[in-house]
């Protein structure tokens, strides 16, 4: 029997973003510039465990602690 797919946590950029673009430089597939180009936004969420780990690394490396996991 196939295991049900585990839903991974989601991420967001909070108001502490300083626009350093570190997350975008590391994971351009997952981040983009906001419409006013002042800060990053999450373009798509992780879909695999490996992608989730990439987000966790980006979250830990964010100098402003602006990338955060959404707690539901």
Please answer whether residues 23 and 67 qualify as being in contact, where contact means their C-beta atoms are separated by less than 8 angstroms: yes
Assess if residue 2 is contained within a domain: no
Q: Domain containing 37: what range? A: 11-69
Assess if residue 5 is contained within a domain: no
Distance CA(51)–CA(64), nearest Å, equals 21
Tell me the percentage of the chain whose pLDDT exceeds 90. Answer: 74
Assess if residue 33 is contained within a domain: yes
CATH of the domain at 22: 3.30.70.20
Assess if residue 22 is contained within a domain: yes
pLDDT 10s digits, 13-43: 999 999 999 999 999 999 998 887 688 999 9
Tell me the percentage of the chain whose pLDDT exceeds 70. Answer: 90
Confidence grade of residue 5 (pLDDT, cut at 50, 70, 90): low
Q: How many domains does the chain have?
A: 1
Confidence grade of residue 1 (pLDDT, cut at 50, 70, 90): low
Assess if residue 34 is contained within a domain: yes
Model-level pTM? 0.84
């Amino acid at each position: 029997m196939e295991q049900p797919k585990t839903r991974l946590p989601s991420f967001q950029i909070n108001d502490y973003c300083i626009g350093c673009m570190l997350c975008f430089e590391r994971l351009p597939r997952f981040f983009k510039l906001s419409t006013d180009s002042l800060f990053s936004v999450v373009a798509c969420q992780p879909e695999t465990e490996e992608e989730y780990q990439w987000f966790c690394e980006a979250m830990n490396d964010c100098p402003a602690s602006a990338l955060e996991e959404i707690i539901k």
